[in-house]
Structure 1
Amino acid sequence: MNKVYHGDRTIDGIVVTVDGEPLDAHAATKCYSRNGFEWSYEGPEPSQLAYAILVDHLGDPAEAERRQDRFMRGVVANFQNEWEMTSADIDRALQQQR
């Protein structure tokens, strides 16, 4: 199934969804930041977002943790104010990072 991940900075704050539903931060398995998600720079909040996307996409917290730093630096840190990624986009990004 091709999921759609979407992030936006709104008047009410940061909103990140997967297929229209709020994306789980998965902070219970790995907590990089208690401040929620962020993007467009390298740091703890973008790390949490990268990890959450990868856990949701891969279904494997250990693999997500292993790949989160490169994914955060190569993808999440380069997001614009509003962004969208599909499962296929994530697969391509991970393939390029191998």
Structure 2
Amino acid sequence: MNENAPTTSTESVPVASPAEAHRKSAEYVGFRVDGSPVILNLTEHQRLSPEQSLDLVNHSPSGFEWGYNGSGPAQLACGLLLDYYDDKQFAREHYITFRNQVVSQLECNGPADCWHLTGAEIDATLETITDDVVAVADGGQPAPSLPANWRTITRPNRRIFQRTDVDHYIVFGVGDDEWLVVLCSQGDRAYPAPLASHTVPVDGDVEQAFRDLVAESNDLIEPPEETH
């Protein structure tokens, strides 16, 4: 008997499924053609289009961008997660953090003047994001007091509601004797810009303040008709 021959084991060895292995081998590349951004999924030999992600969140109808915190990079972050994981809820919950940590840092460089992002890099980033998330009571589903087009974004230190069809957010903070509830928009700015706000006593109706700001968000999108 050959003592150097490999031995067999009754224990099964975990092996990645073909689909998972294929996903991890994914590679995305971004560059510009005549100034316009182009993103390719090299594994699938396909160009990434904003259309699918725009059906999920509408931050930048004009298309993708990268290299800063803004609406174009938010759309790209959502598009990348949606294309890679094929999970709308997962993409919706994590694309803002993915934009802040990854897409905002992408830059075209090297002889090819482009950026590369692999599936393994996406997985590694999302593992840190999901590990740090503090779950909220509704688990990211539509908040009971808000319309279906508003969802909760999980944050370790604050509560944020995001409108899924427009770049609007509602955040709130507590002071010594009152709540500050703010409707804001990120746009292409480095920091969100306030659009409207309400202060509410700590024992007041904060939910009503949310509903009022939702109404103001609607008015900003579709101003009420003037009565004659």
TM-score (norm 1): 0.92
Task: Mark the runs of 5 or more structure 2 residues left unpaired by the alignment.
Answer: 1-21, 109-113, 132-228
**What is the CA-CA distance between 1:3 and the residue it aligns to?**
1.2
**Do residues 72 (structure 1) and 95 (structure 2) align?**
no
TM-score (norm 2): 0.41
Tell me the percent identity: 30
Task: Mark the runs of 5 or more structure 1 residues left unpaired by the alignment.
Answer: none
In angstroms, what is the RMSD of aligned CA positions? 1.2
Structure 1: distance between partners of 2:32 and 2:125: 23
**Is contact 2:56–2:92 with CA below 8 Å preserved after alignment?**
no
More helix by share: 1
Q: Which residue of 1 aligns with 2:121?
A: 89
What number of residue pairs does the alignment pair up? Answer: 98
**What is the CA-CA distance between 1:12 and the residue it aligns to?**
5.0
User: In the TM superposition, what whole-angstrom CA distance separates every residue of 1:32-80 from its partner, at most 9, and x where no partner exists?
Assistant: 1101000000011000000000001111111101000100000000001
**Do residues 13 (structure 1) and 36 (structure 2) align?**
yes
Greater relative contact order structure (CA < 8 Å, 6+ sep)? 1
After TM superposition, what 4+ stretches of structure 1 lie above 6 angstroms from structure 2?
Answer: none
Deviates more, 1:7-16 or 1:62-71: 7-16
State the structure with more CA Rg.
Answer: 2
**What secondary structure, in the 3-state scheme, does the structure 2 residue paired with 1:46 have?**
helix
